[in-house]
Chains A and B, each alone.
Chain A
Amino acid sequence: MDSARVDSMEAVAARRSDFPALAREVRPGVPLIYLDSTATSQKPLAVIEAMDRYYRQSNANVHRGIHTLAEEATALYEGGREKVRALIKAQSVREVIFTRNATESINLVAYTWGRANIKPRDLIVYTEMEHHSNLVPWQMLAAEKGAEVRAVPVTEDGELDRAALMALLARRPKLVCVTHMSNVLGTINPITEIAAEAHTVGALVLVDAAQSVPHLPVDVQTLGADFLAFSGHKMCGPTGIGVLWGRQSVLEGMPPFLGGGDMIRRVHLYDFKPNDLPYKFEAGTPPIAEAVGLGAAVDYLNSIGMDAIQAHEQTITAYALERLEEVPGVRVYGPAAERRGGVAAFSVAGVHPHDVAQILDRFGVAVRAGHHCAMPLHDRYNLPATTRASFYLYSTLADVDRLIDGLYQVKKVFG
Protein backbone atom coordinates (compact mmCIF):
# COMPACT_ATOMS: atom_id res chain seq x y z
CA MET A 1 0.00 0.00 0.00
CA ASP A 2 1.48 3.38 -0.94
CA SER A 3 2.07 6.06 1.67
CA ALA A 4 -0.45 8.50 0.18
CA ARG A 5 -3.15 5.91 0.70
CA VAL A 6 -2.04 5.27 4.30
CA ASP A 7 -1.95 9.00 5.05
CA SER A 8 -5.41 9.45 3.66
CA MET A 9 -6.69 6.52 5.77
CA GLU A 10 -5.23 8.17 8.89
CA ALA A 11 -7.03 11.38 8.02
CA VAL A 12 -10.22 9.39 7.56
CA ALA A 13 -9.82 7.73 10.97
CA ALA A 14 -9.65 11.22 12.56
CA ARG A 15 -12.59 12.40 10.46
CA ARG A 16 -14.76 9.54 11.67
CA SER A 17 -14.75 11.00 15.19
CA ASP A 18 -16.73 13.96 13.75
CA PHE A 19 -19.69 11.60 13.26
CA PRO A 20 -21.30 10.50 16.56
CA ALA A 21 -23.37 7.74 14.94
CA LEU A 22 -20.27 6.02 13.57
CA ALA A 23 -19.08 5.43 17.13
CA ARG A 24 -22.14 3.43 18.18
CA GLU A 25 -22.60 -0.28 18.39
CA VAL A 26 -25.50 -1.92 16.61
CA ARG A 27 -25.79 -4.26 19.57
CA PRO A 28 -23.39 -4.94 22.43
CA GLY A 29 -19.95 -5.74 21.04
CA VAL A 30 -20.97 -5.19 17.40
CA PRO A 31 -19.76 -1.83 16.02
CA LEU A 32 -21.65 -0.15 13.20
CA ILE A 33 -20.19 -0.47 9.70
CA TYR A 34 -22.28 2.08 7.82
CA LEU A 35 -22.38 1.31 4.10
CA ASP A 36 -25.66 3.01 3.23
CA SER A 37 -24.61 6.61 2.59
CA THR A 38 -26.21 6.65 -0.84
CA ALA A 39 -29.56 6.40 0.96
CA THR A 40 -28.57 9.03 3.52
CA SER A 41 -25.26 10.14 4.96
CA GLN A 42 -24.42 10.29 8.63
CA LYS A 43 -24.24 13.77 10.15
CA PRO A 44 -21.13 15.45 11.57
CA LEU A 45 -21.29 17.19 14.95
CA ALA A 46 -20.78 20.54 13.21
CA VAL A 47 -24.17 20.14 11.51
CA ILE A 48 -25.99 18.83 14.57
CA GLU A 49 -24.56 21.65 16.71
CA ALA A 50 -25.33 24.37 14.17
CA MET A 51 -28.99 23.35 14.13
CA ASP A 52 -29.07 23.00 17.92
CA ARG A 53 -27.52 26.46 18.31
CA TYR A 54 -30.05 27.95 15.90
CA TYR A 55 -32.98 26.55 17.88
CA ARG A 56 -31.48 27.54 21.24
CA GLN A 57 -30.36 31.04 20.26
CA SER A 58 -31.86 32.44 17.09
CA ASN A 59 -35.15 30.67 16.44
CA ALA A 60 -37.55 33.04 14.67
CA ASN A 61 -39.41 33.19 11.39
CA VAL A 62 -37.44 34.61 8.49
CA HIS A 63 -37.95 37.68 6.27
CA ARG A 64 -40.05 40.74 7.20
CA GLY A 65 -39.23 40.41 10.91
CA ILE A 66 -37.77 43.55 12.47
CA HIS A 67 -36.69 42.09 15.80
CA THR A 68 -33.18 40.82 16.50
CA LEU A 69 -33.95 37.11 16.40
CA ALA A 70 -35.80 37.45 13.09
CA GLU A 71 -32.81 39.27 11.63
CA GLU A 72 -30.44 36.57 12.91
CA ALA A 73 -32.62 33.78 11.57
CA THR A 74 -32.90 35.49 8.18
CA ALA A 75 -29.14 35.99 7.99
CA LEU A 76 -28.54 32.35 8.90
CA TYR A 77 -31.10 31.08 6.39
CA GLU A 78 -29.78 33.25 3.57
CA GLY A 79 -26.24 32.39 4.64
CA GLY A 80 -27.04 28.75 3.98
CA ARG A 81 -28.21 29.68 0.51
CA GLU A 82 -24.99 31.58 -0.23
CA LYS A 83 -22.91 28.58 0.87
CA VAL A 84 -24.84 26.31 -1.47
CA ARG A 85 -24.45 28.85 -4.30
CA ALA A 86 -20.69 28.93 -3.82
CA LEU A 87 -20.46 25.13 -3.62
CA ILE A 88 -22.07 24.60 -7.03
CA LYS A 89 -20.65 27.83 -8.52
CA ALA A 90 -24.04 29.31 -9.35
CA GLN A 91 -23.95 32.90 -10.64
CA SER A 92 -26.45 34.20 -8.12
CA VAL A 93 -28.34 33.18 -4.97
CA ARG A 94 -31.46 33.95 -7.01
CA GLU A 95 -30.81 30.67 -8.80
CA VAL A 96 -30.75 28.61 -5.58
CA ILE A 97 -34.23 27.52 -4.49
CA PHE A 98 -34.74 25.60 -1.28
CA THR A 99 -37.19 22.70 -1.51
CA ARG A 100 -37.91 19.66 0.64
CA ASN A 101 -35.57 17.29 -1.24
CA ALA A 102 -34.34 16.44 -4.75
CA THR A 103 -37.68 14.78 -5.49
CA GLU A 104 -39.57 17.99 -4.78
CA SER A 105 -37.04 19.96 -6.83
CA ILE A 106 -37.76 17.79 -9.87
CA ASN A 107 -41.50 17.93 -9.26
CA LEU A 108 -41.28 21.72 -9.03
CA VAL A 109 -39.89 21.82 -12.57
CA ALA A 110 -42.51 19.34 -13.81
CA TYR A 111 -45.39 21.29 -12.27
CA THR A 112 -44.28 24.77 -13.31
CA TRP A 113 -42.00 24.69 -16.36
CA GLY A 114 -43.55 21.43 -17.53
CA ARG A 115 -47.17 22.50 -17.32
CA ALA A 116 -46.42 25.81 -19.03
CA ASN A 117 -44.24 24.41 -21.83
CA ILE A 118 -45.09 20.79 -22.59
CA LYS A 119 -47.77 20.38 -25.25
CA PRO A 120 -49.53 17.33 -26.69
CA ARG A 121 -47.11 15.06 -28.62
CA ASP A 122 -44.03 16.85 -27.24
CA LEU A 123 -41.16 14.52 -26.36
CA ILE A 124 -39.47 14.26 -22.95
CA VAL A 125 -36.35 12.09 -22.77
CA TYR A 126 -35.04 10.40 -19.63
CA THR A 127 -32.81 7.39 -19.07
CA GLU A 128 -33.21 3.80 -17.96
CA MET A 129 -30.89 4.40 -14.98
CA GLU A 130 -33.01 7.15 -13.39
CA HIS A 131 -34.28 7.05 -9.84
CA HIS A 132 -38.08 6.91 -9.65
CA SER A 133 -38.02 10.62 -8.73
CA ASN A 134 -36.75 11.44 -12.23
CA LEU A 135 -39.21 9.10 -13.97
CA VAL A 136 -42.60 9.39 -12.28
CA PRO A 137 -42.99 13.23 -12.41
CA TRP A 138 -42.44 13.08 -16.20
CA GLN A 139 -44.79 10.12 -16.62
CA MET A 140 -47.43 12.12 -14.71
CA LEU A 141 -46.80 15.24 -16.79
CA ALA A 142 -46.87 13.32 -20.06
CA ALA A 143 -50.16 11.65 -19.09
CA GLU A 144 -51.68 15.03 -18.25
CA LYS A 145 -50.48 16.72 -21.43
CA GLY A 146 -50.68 13.88 -23.92
CA ALA A 147 -46.93 14.13 -24.36
CA GLU A 148 -44.49 11.31 -25.00
CA VAL A 149 -41.62 10.03 -22.81
CA ARG A 150 -38.77 7.91 -24.15
CA ALA A 151 -35.89 6.35 -22.23
CA VAL A 152 -32.25 6.14 -23.26
CA PRO A 153 -31.23 2.49 -22.70
CA VAL A 154 -28.38 1.41 -20.45
CA THR A 155 -25.63 -0.82 -21.88
CA GLU A 156 -24.63 -4.12 -20.25
CA ASP A 157 -21.67 -2.47 -18.49
CA GLY A 158 -23.90 0.23 -17.04
CA GLU A 159 -23.30 3.21 -19.33
CA LEU A 160 -25.83 5.28 -21.27
CA ASP A 161 -26.31 4.20 -24.88
CA ARG A 162 -25.10 7.42 -26.49
CA ALA A 163 -26.14 6.42 -30.01
CA ALA A 164 -29.68 5.86 -28.77
CA LEU A 165 -29.57 9.25 -27.05
CA MET A 166 -28.50 10.91 -30.32
CA ALA A 167 -31.36 9.19 -32.14
CA LEU A 168 -33.83 10.53 -29.57
CA LEU A 169 -32.31 14.02 -29.74
CA ALA A 170 -32.88 13.97 -33.50
CA ARG A 171 -36.59 13.93 -32.65
CA ARG A 172 -36.12 17.32 -30.96
CA PRO A 173 -37.32 16.67 -27.40
CA LYS A 174 -38.33 19.61 -25.21
CA LEU A 175 -36.51 18.29 -22.15
CA VAL A 176 -33.75 15.80 -21.36
CA CYS A 177 -33.68 14.46 -17.77
CA VAL A 178 -30.56 12.60 -16.72
CA THR A 179 -28.86 11.58 -13.52
CA HIS A 180 -25.34 12.84 -12.91
CA MET A 181 -24.50 9.68 -10.99
CA SER A 182 -26.57 6.50 -10.82
CA ASN A 183 -27.61 5.53 -7.28
CA VAL A 184 -27.33 1.84 -8.23
CA LEU A 185 -24.58 1.45 -10.83
CA GLY A 186 -22.51 4.41 -9.65
CA THR A 187 -22.10 5.46 -13.29
CA ILE A 188 -20.99 9.08 -13.63
CA ASN A 189 -22.62 10.42 -16.78
CA PRO A 190 -20.87 12.95 -19.09
CA ILE A 191 -23.34 15.75 -18.40
CA THR A 192 -21.30 18.48 -20.10
CA GLU A 193 -21.36 16.58 -23.41
CA ILE A 194 -25.00 15.52 -23.07
CA ALA A 195 -26.12 19.07 -22.22
CA ALA A 196 -24.25 20.49 -25.21
CA GLU A 197 -25.83 17.91 -27.54
CA ALA A 198 -29.31 18.51 -26.10
CA HIS A 199 -28.96 22.28 -26.46
CA THR A 200 -28.13 22.00 -30.15
CA VAL A 201 -31.66 20.66 -30.71
CA GLY A 202 -33.21 23.23 -28.37
CA ALA A 203 -33.96 20.91 -25.43
CA LEU A 204 -33.55 22.00 -21.83
CA VAL A 205 -31.56 19.69 -19.55
CA LEU A 206 -32.48 18.67 -16.00
CA VAL A 207 -29.82 16.89 -13.96
CA ASP A 208 -30.55 14.74 -10.92
CA ALA A 209 -27.47 15.54 -8.87
CA ALA A 210 -28.60 13.86 -5.64
CA GLN A 211 -25.62 11.48 -5.81
CA SER A 212 -23.04 13.81 -7.37
CA VAL A 213 -23.15 17.00 -5.30
CA PRO A 214 -22.34 15.07 -2.07
CA HIS A 215 -19.48 13.12 -3.61
CA LEU A 216 -17.63 15.11 -6.27
CA PRO A 217 -16.98 18.69 -7.40
CA VAL A 218 -20.05 20.00 -9.24
CA ASP A 219 -19.82 23.27 -11.17
CA VAL A 220 -23.06 24.29 -12.84
CA GLN A 221 -21.16 26.56 -15.25
CA THR A 222 -19.11 23.62 -16.56
CA LEU A 223 -22.05 21.21 -16.66
CA GLY A 224 -24.08 23.58 -18.80
CA ALA A 225 -27.45 22.12 -17.73
CA ASP A 226 -30.56 24.20 -17.06
CA PHE A 227 -31.77 22.58 -13.84
CA LEU A 228 -29.90 20.73 -11.09
CA ALA A 229 -31.68 18.95 -8.22
CA PHE A 230 -30.17 17.57 -5.02
CA SER A 231 -30.93 16.78 -1.36
CA GLY A 232 -29.30 18.02 1.83
CA HIS A 233 -29.44 14.77 3.76
CA LYS A 234 -27.14 12.85 1.41
CA MET A 235 -24.36 15.45 1.82
CA CYS A 236 -23.96 15.47 5.63
CA GLY A 237 -26.91 17.85 6.03
CA PRO A 238 -30.33 17.32 7.59
CA THR A 239 -33.43 15.77 6.06
CA GLY A 240 -36.22 18.11 5.00
CA ILE A 241 -34.19 20.37 2.72
CA GLY A 242 -33.30 20.05 -0.92
CA VAL A 243 -32.09 22.38 -3.62
CA LEU A 244 -33.23 23.27 -7.09
CA TRP A 245 -30.70 25.25 -9.05
CA GLY A 246 -32.04 26.74 -12.27
CA ARG A 247 -30.67 29.05 -14.89
CA GLN A 248 -32.03 32.48 -13.97
CA SER A 249 -33.46 33.24 -17.42
CA VAL A 250 -35.40 29.96 -17.33
CA LEU A 251 -36.60 30.37 -13.74
CA GLU A 252 -37.85 33.89 -14.48
CA GLY A 253 -40.08 32.60 -17.25
CA MET A 254 -41.67 29.93 -15.07
CA PRO A 255 -44.97 30.33 -13.19
CA PRO A 256 -44.81 29.92 -9.38
CA PHE A 257 -45.10 26.48 -7.72
CA LEU A 258 -46.99 26.42 -4.41
CA GLY A 259 -49.03 29.47 -3.46
CA GLY A 260 -48.89 31.16 -0.07
CA GLY A 261 -46.83 33.49 2.04
CA ASP A 262 -43.35 34.61 1.01
CA MET A 263 -43.83 33.72 -2.65
CA ILE A 264 -45.81 36.90 -3.31
CA ARG A 265 -44.91 40.51 -3.97
CA ARG A 266 -48.47 41.81 -3.62
CA VAL A 267 -51.76 40.07 -2.91
CA HIS A 268 -55.12 41.58 -3.79
CA LEU A 269 -58.41 40.04 -2.83
CA TYR A 270 -58.74 38.30 -6.19
CA ASP A 271 -55.23 38.10 -7.62
CA PHE A 272 -51.55 38.31 -6.76
CA LYS A 273 -48.17 39.28 -8.15
CA PRO A 274 -45.41 36.73 -7.52
CA ASN A 275 -42.22 37.58 -5.68
CA ASP A 276 -38.76 37.74 -7.22
CA LEU A 277 -36.40 34.79 -7.40
CA PRO A 278 -35.76 32.64 -5.45
CA TYR A 279 -38.75 33.44 -3.18
CA LYS A 280 -41.23 32.98 -6.01
CA PHE A 281 -40.75 29.22 -5.50
CA GLU A 282 -40.59 29.18 -1.69
CA ALA A 283 -44.14 29.40 -0.32
CA GLY A 284 -44.71 29.31 3.42
CA THR A 285 -42.22 29.16 6.27
CA PRO A 286 -39.12 27.54 4.78
CA PRO A 287 -36.88 24.88 6.37
CA ILE A 288 -34.85 27.41 8.36
CA ALA A 289 -32.97 25.15 10.78
CA GLU A 290 -32.37 22.78 7.87
CA ALA A 291 -30.83 25.56 5.77
CA VAL A 292 -28.57 26.37 8.71
CA GLY A 293 -27.61 22.69 8.94
CA LEU A 294 -27.06 22.44 5.20
CA GLY A 295 -24.80 25.49 5.32
CA ALA A 296 -22.76 23.83 8.08
CA ALA A 297 -22.62 20.66 5.97
CA VAL A 298 -21.24 22.62 3.01
CA ASP A 299 -18.60 24.14 5.30
CA TYR A 300 -17.72 20.65 6.51
CA LEU A 301 -17.40 19.26 2.97
CA ASN A 302 -15.26 22.25 1.97
CA SER A 303 -12.97 21.70 4.97
CA ILE A 304 -12.07 18.35 3.39
CA GLY A 305 -12.42 19.40 -0.24
CA MET A 306 -14.69 17.83 -2.86
CA ASP A 307 -11.66 16.67 -4.88
CA ALA A 308 -10.26 14.89 -1.82
CA ILE A 309 -13.65 13.33 -1.06
CA GLN A 310 -13.94 11.99 -4.60
CA ALA A 311 -10.36 10.67 -4.56
CA HIS A 312 -10.95 8.92 -1.23
CA GLU A 313 -14.14 7.28 -2.47
CA GLN A 314 -12.33 6.12 -5.61
CA THR A 315 -9.77 4.35 -3.44
CA ILE A 316 -12.45 2.66 -1.35
CA THR A 317 -14.59 1.75 -4.37
CA ALA A 318 -11.69 0.26 -6.34
CA TYR A 319 -10.77 -1.85 -3.32
CA ALA A 320 -14.40 -2.88 -2.77
CA LEU A 321 -14.86 -3.97 -6.40
CA GLU A 322 -11.61 -5.94 -6.27
CA ARG A 323 -12.61 -7.72 -3.05
CA LEU A 324 -16.24 -8.31 -4.08
CA GLU A 325 -15.09 -9.98 -7.29
CA GLU A 326 -13.06 -12.51 -5.33
CA VAL A 327 -16.17 -13.80 -3.49
CA PRO A 328 -17.57 -16.76 -5.47
CA GLY A 329 -21.11 -16.15 -6.72
CA VAL A 330 -20.97 -12.38 -6.28
CA ARG A 331 -21.65 -10.24 -9.33
CA VAL A 332 -21.25 -6.46 -9.24
CA TYR A 333 -23.25 -4.28 -11.64
CA GLY A 334 -22.02 -1.11 -13.31
CA PRO A 335 -18.83 0.28 -14.81
CA ALA A 336 -15.21 -0.02 -13.68
CA ALA A 337 -14.13 1.81 -10.53
CA GLU A 338 -12.58 4.77 -12.39
CA ARG A 339 -15.87 5.46 -14.15
CA ARG A 340 -18.13 5.31 -11.12
CA GLY A 341 -18.83 6.88 -7.74
CA GLY A 342 -18.80 5.15 -4.36
CA VAL A 343 -21.59 2.65 -5.00
CA ALA A 344 -21.46 -1.12 -5.48
CA ALA A 345 -24.74 -2.92 -6.17
CA PHE A 346 -24.31 -6.67 -6.37
CA SER A 347 -26.06 -10.00 -6.31
CA VAL A 348 -25.06 -13.17 -4.47
CA ALA A 349 -25.95 -16.31 -6.41
CA GLY A 350 -28.80 -18.21 -4.78
CA VAL A 351 -29.36 -15.71 -1.98
CA HIS A 352 -32.00 -13.02 -2.00
CA PRO A 353 -30.75 -9.47 -1.24
CA HIS A 354 -33.03 -9.27 1.83
CA ASP A 355 -31.32 -12.29 3.28
CA VAL A 356 -27.88 -10.89 2.44
CA ALA A 357 -28.71 -7.60 4.17
CA GLN A 358 -30.26 -9.37 7.15
CA ILE A 359 -27.23 -11.53 7.78
CA LEU A 360 -24.82 -8.62 7.23
CA ASP A 361 -26.77 -6.66 9.86
CA ARG A 362 -25.91 -9.38 12.39
CA PHE A 363 -22.30 -8.29 11.90
CA GLY A 364 -23.15 -4.61 12.15
CA VAL A 365 -22.79 -4.07 8.41
CA ALA A 366 -25.55 -1.72 7.21
CA VAL A 367 -26.30 -2.15 3.50
CA ARG A 368 -29.48 -1.61 1.51
CA ALA A 369 -31.44 -4.38 -0.19
CA GLY A 370 -34.14 -3.83 -2.77
CA HIS A 371 -34.69 -1.97 -6.00
CA HIS A 372 -33.24 1.30 -4.65
CA CYS A 373 -36.09 3.25 -6.27
CA ALA A 374 -34.83 2.15 -9.69
CA MET A 375 -37.23 -0.64 -10.71
CA PRO A 376 -36.81 -0.10 -14.49
CA LEU A 377 -33.03 -0.41 -14.14
CA HIS A 378 -33.43 -3.70 -12.23
CA ASP A 379 -35.85 -4.91 -14.93
CA ARG A 380 -33.15 -4.14 -17.50
CA TYR A 381 -30.77 -6.54 -15.70
CA ASN A 382 -33.65 -8.96 -15.05
CA LEU A 383 -33.17 -8.66 -11.30
CA PRO A 384 -35.93 -8.27 -8.70
CA ALA A 385 -33.50 -6.53 -6.37
CA THR A 386 -29.84 -6.06 -5.49
CA THR A 387 -27.78 -5.54 -2.37
CA ARG A 388 -26.04 -2.18 -2.36
CA ALA A 389 -22.99 -1.07 -0.40
CA SER A 390 -22.16 2.62 -0.68
CA PHE A 391 -19.26 4.68 0.58
CA TYR A 392 -18.57 8.19 1.75
CA LEU A 393 -15.85 10.41 3.11
CA TYR A 394 -15.79 8.40 6.36
CA SER A 395 -15.63 4.92 4.80
CA THR A 396 -12.49 2.85 5.36
CA LEU A 397 -10.80 -0.14 3.76
CA ALA A 398 -11.59 -1.97 7.01
CA ASP A 399 -15.30 -1.32 6.38
CA VAL A 400 -14.93 -3.13 3.06
CA ASP A 401 -13.15 -6.02 4.79
CA ARG A 402 -16.05 -6.35 7.23
CA LEU A 403 -18.47 -6.43 4.32
CA ILE A 404 -16.50 -9.22 2.64
CA ASP A 405 -16.24 -11.20 5.90
CA GLY A 406 -20.01 -10.84 6.24
CA LEU A 407 -20.58 -12.08 2.70
CA TYR A 408 -18.63 -15.25 3.47
CA GLN A 409 -20.95 -15.72 6.47
CA VAL A 410 -23.94 -15.28 4.15
CA LYS A 411 -22.56 -18.00 1.90
CA LYS A 412 -22.01 -20.24 4.92
CA VAL A 413 -25.64 -19.92 6.03
CA PHE A 414 -26.96 -20.58 2.53
CA GLY A 415 -24.15 -22.97 1.53
Chain B
Amino acid sequence: MDDLYREVILDHYKNPRHHGTLDPHDFSYEDENPLCGDKLRIDVRLDGARRVAAVAFSGRGCAISQAAASMLSEAIVGKSLDEIKRLGRDDILDLLGIELGPVRLKCALLSLKVLKAGAYGLEGQQYHDED
Protein backbone atom coordinates (compact mmCIF):
# COMPACT_ATOMS: atom_id res chain seq x y z
CA MET B 1 0.00 0.00 0.00
CA ASP B 2 1.32 3.50 0.59
CA ASP B 3 3.38 5.18 3.27
CA LEU B 4 0.42 7.07 4.68
CA TYR B 5 -0.89 3.97 6.39
CA ARG B 6 2.44 2.49 7.43
CA GLU B 7 2.41 0.07 10.31
CA VAL B 8 3.46 2.49 13.05
CA ILE B 9 0.64 4.91 12.21
CA LEU B 10 -1.98 2.17 12.17
CA ASP B 11 -0.57 0.85 15.45
CA HIS B 12 -0.95 4.24 17.14
CA TYR B 13 -4.45 4.57 15.65
CA LYS B 14 -5.61 1.18 16.84
CA ASN B 15 -3.74 1.27 20.17
CA PRO B 16 -3.53 4.94 21.08
CA ARG B 17 -1.08 5.86 23.88
CA HIS B 18 -2.19 8.36 26.53
CA HIS B 19 -5.83 8.10 25.45
CA GLY B 20 -8.44 9.43 27.85
CA THR B 21 -8.80 12.42 30.16
CA LEU B 22 -6.85 13.67 33.19
CA ASP B 23 -8.41 14.96 36.37
CA PRO B 24 -6.97 17.04 37.92
CA HIS B 25 -5.01 18.74 35.15
CA ASP B 26 -3.12 22.01 34.84
CA PHE B 27 -4.58 22.76 31.45
CA SER B 28 -7.09 21.29 29.10
CA TYR B 29 -7.94 22.50 25.64
CA GLU B 30 -10.32 21.38 22.92
CA ASP B 31 -10.67 22.37 19.27
CA GLU B 32 -11.99 20.99 16.06
CA ASN B 33 -11.03 20.64 12.44
CA PRO B 34 -13.75 22.62 10.64
CA LEU B 35 -13.13 20.59 7.48
CA CYS B 36 -14.61 17.48 9.01
CA GLY B 37 -15.91 18.44 12.44
CA ASP B 38 -13.42 16.15 14.18
CA LYS B 39 -12.82 17.13 17.79
CA LEU B 40 -9.70 16.74 19.87
CA ARG B 41 -9.13 17.47 23.55
CA ILE B 42 -5.78 17.36 25.34
CA ASP B 43 -5.34 17.43 29.15
CA VAL B 44 -1.88 18.07 30.64
CA ARG B 45 -0.60 17.81 34.21
CA LEU B 46 2.71 19.46 35.10
CA ASP B 47 5.28 18.51 37.73
CA GLY B 48 7.00 20.82 40.26
CA ALA B 49 9.50 21.92 37.61
CA ARG B 50 6.64 22.89 35.25
CA ARG B 51 7.39 20.00 32.94
CA VAL B 52 4.80 17.62 31.50
CA ALA B 53 4.16 14.90 34.07
CA ALA B 54 1.13 13.36 32.37
CA VAL B 55 -0.88 13.90 29.23
CA ALA B 56 -4.12 12.46 27.86
CA PHE B 57 -6.04 13.08 24.65
CA SER B 58 -9.60 12.28 23.66
CA GLY B 59 -11.93 12.89 20.74
CA ARG B 60 -12.67 11.46 17.34
CA GLY B 61 -10.69 11.67 14.16
CA CYS B 62 -9.05 9.94 11.25
CA ALA B 63 -6.03 7.64 11.52
CA ILE B 64 -3.63 10.50 10.76
CA SER B 65 -5.03 12.87 13.40
CA GLN B 66 -5.35 10.16 16.07
CA ALA B 67 -1.90 8.69 15.43
CA ALA B 68 -0.37 12.17 15.48
CA ALA B 69 -2.07 12.89 18.83
CA SER B 70 -0.84 9.58 20.26
CA MET B 71 2.74 10.11 19.04
CA LEU B 72 2.80 13.74 20.18
CA SER B 73 1.55 12.74 23.62
CA GLU B 74 4.40 10.23 23.94
CA ALA B 75 6.92 12.80 22.77
CA ILE B 76 6.03 15.60 25.18
CA VAL B 77 6.27 13.76 28.49
CA GLY B 78 9.08 15.51 30.44
CA LYS B 79 9.10 18.58 28.17
CA SER B 80 8.85 22.15 29.50
CA LEU B 81 6.17 24.59 28.40
CA ASP B 82 8.75 26.54 26.40
CA GLU B 83 9.76 23.38 24.58
CA ILE B 84 6.12 22.71 23.75
CA LYS B 85 5.67 26.23 22.41
CA ARG B 86 8.66 25.71 20.12
CA LEU B 87 7.21 22.56 18.53
CA GLY B 88 6.31 23.02 14.86
CA ARG B 89 4.81 21.14 12.00
CA ASP B 90 8.09 19.53 11.04
CA ASP B 91 8.23 17.88 14.46
CA ILE B 92 4.86 16.25 13.81
CA LEU B 93 5.86 15.18 10.30
CA ASP B 94 9.08 13.71 11.73
CA LEU B 95 7.06 11.74 14.26
CA LEU B 96 4.68 10.45 11.59
CA GLY B 97 7.50 9.88 9.10
CA ILE B 98 5.30 10.69 6.09
CA GLU B 99 4.66 13.44 3.56
CA LEU B 100 1.18 14.97 3.60
CA GLY B 101 -0.86 17.08 1.21
CA PRO B 102 -2.44 20.33 2.44
CA VAL B 103 -5.78 18.77 3.41
CA ARG B 104 -4.39 15.90 5.46
CA LEU B 105 -1.78 18.22 6.99
CA LYS B 106 -4.66 19.85 8.90
CA CYS B 107 -5.55 16.42 10.33
CA ALA B 108 -1.95 15.80 11.37
CA LEU B 109 -1.52 19.20 12.99
CA LEU B 110 -4.78 19.32 14.96
CA SER B 111 -3.21 17.85 18.12
CA LEU B 112 -0.26 20.24 17.99
CA LYS B 113 -2.62 23.18 17.56
CA VAL B 114 -4.70 22.07 20.54
CA LEU B 115 -1.64 21.40 22.72
CA LYS B 116 0.00 24.76 21.95
CA ALA B 117 -3.25 26.69 22.41
CA GLY B 118 -3.57 25.04 25.83
CA ALA B 119 0.04 25.80 26.76
CA TYR B 120 -0.24 29.45 25.73
CA GLY B 121 -3.63 29.75 27.41
CA LEU B 122 -2.18 28.54 30.72
CA GLU B 123 -0.06 31.69 30.80
CA GLY B 124 -2.90 33.92 29.67
CA GLN B 125 -1.53 34.24 26.14
CA GLN B 126 -3.34 33.84 22.86
CA TYR B 127 -1.95 31.24 20.48
CA HIS B 128 -1.93 32.16 16.80
CA ASP B 129 -1.78 29.21 14.48
CA GLU B 130 0.69 29.95 11.70
CA ASP B 131 -0.46 27.13 9.41
Within 8 A of A (CB), among B23-68: 35-39, 60-64, 66
In whole angstroms, what is the CA distance A384 to B34 when docked? 11
The answer to whether B104 and A385 touch across the interface, beta carbons within 8 angstroms, is no
- Judge if A133 is at the interface, Cβ distance under 8 Å: no
Q: Is the interface of A mostly helix, strand, loop or mixed?
A: helix
Within 8 A of B (CB), among A348-362: 351-355, 358-359, 362
Which residues of B are found within 8 Å of A409, using beta-carbon distances? 1
Closest-by-CB residue of A relative to B38 is A384
The answer to whether B35 and A370 touch across the interface, beta carbons within 8 angstroms, is yes
Which residues of A are found within 8 Å of B66, using beta-carbon distances? 352
The answer to whether A414 and B10 touch across the interface, beta carbons within 8 angstroms, is yes
- Judge if B107 is at the interface, Cβ distance under 8 Å: yes
The answer to whether B104 and A384 touch across the interface, beta carbons within 8 angstroms, is no
- Judge if A371 is at the interface, Cβ distance under 8 Å: yes
The answer to whether A384 and B4 touch across the interface, beta carbons within 8 angstroms, is no
In whole angstroms, what is the CA distance A290 to B120 when docked? 48
The answer to whether B104 and A353 touch across the interface, beta carbons within 8 angstroms, is no
- Judge if B2 is at the interface, Cβ distance under 8 Å: yes
- Judge if B5 is at the interface, Cβ distance under 8 Å: yes
Most B CB contacts (10 A, CB to CB) among A362, A375, A385, A409 go to A385
- Judge if A30 is at the interface, Cβ distance under 8 Å: no
The answer to whether B61 and A352 touch across the interface, beta carbons within 8 angstroms, is yes
The answer to whether B64 and A354 touch across the interface, beta carbons within 8 angstroms, is yes
In whole angstroms, what is the CA distance A353 to B117 when docked? 26
The answer to whether A370 and B104 touch across the interface, beta carbons within 8 angstroms, is no
Which residues of A are found within 8 Å of B1, using beta-carbon distances? 359, 362, 409, 413
In whole angstroms, what is the CA distance A352 to B69 when docked? 15
Closest-by-CB residue of B relative to A385 is B36
In whole angstroms, what is the CA distance A414 to B107 when docked? 18
- Judge if A365 is at the interface, Cβ distance under 8 Å: no
Known contacts A370-B37, A378-B37, A355 near B2 by CB under 8 Å: no
Which residues of A are found within 8 Å of B107, using beta-carbon distances? 354
Q: How far is the CB of A183 from chain B (nearest CB, A)?
A: 16
Q: Which of B5, B39, B60 contacts A359 (CB 8 A)?
A: B5
The answer to whether A352 and B63 touch across the interface, beta carbons within 8 angstroms, is yes
In whole angstroms, what is the CA distance A384 to B80 when docked? 33
The answer to whether B62 and A355 touch across the interface, beta carbons within 8 angstroms, is yes
Which residues of B are found within 8 Å of A369, using beta-carbon distances? 36
Q: Which of A358, A359, A375 contacts B37 (CB 8 A)?
A: A375
The answer to whether B4 and A358 touch across the interface, beta carbons within 8 angstroms, is yes
20 A-B residue pairs with CB within 8 Å: A351-B63, A352-B38, A352-B61, A352-B63, A353-B36, A353-B62, A354-B62, A354-B63, A354-B64, A354-B107, A355-B64, A358-B4, A369-B36, A370-B36, A371-B36, A384-B36, A384-B60, A413-B1, A414-B5, A414-B10
Beyond the given A354-B104, A370-B37, A413-B10, could you list 11 further A-B residue pairs with CB under 8 A, ordered by the A residue number? A352-B62, A352-B66, A354-B63, A358-B104, A370-B35, A371-B36, A384-B37, A384-B38, A385-B36, A413-B5, A414-B5
